[in-house]
Amino acid sequence: MQIPPMSNGQGSAGNVIASLASFFIPGLGQLLQGRLLSAIFFFVFTAILWFFLLGWVIHFWACLDAALWKPRS
């Protein structure tokens, strides 16, 4: 099952919402954009790295990835 993408490209309102969603739950922004594998990756690795106090790195990366993503035409 494929989730339809929410945003139209970099700088769009959809990407801002996706970035904010990833700020609260890493991977949620990617899920809103229809990128299931990226969402799982960010969610799992952020959870794992928080045990080593490095989760903030992946957490920040998830926000940037959601904000800068451009769908393929």
pLDDT reported for residue 36: 93
Question: What residues does each domain of the chain span?
Answer: 13-68
* CA within 13 Å, CB half, 26: 21
Tens of pLDDT, residues 13-49: 778 888 888 888 888 888 988 889 989 998 998 888 8
- Asked if 30 and 18 count as a contact pair (C-beta separation under 8 A), the reply is yes
Closest C-alpha to 68, from 10, 17, 7, 5: 10
| pTM score above 0.95 | no
Helix, strand, or coil (residue 32): helix
DSSP-assigned letter for residue 49 = H
* Rounded distance between C-alpha atoms, residue 31 and residue 69, angstroms: 12
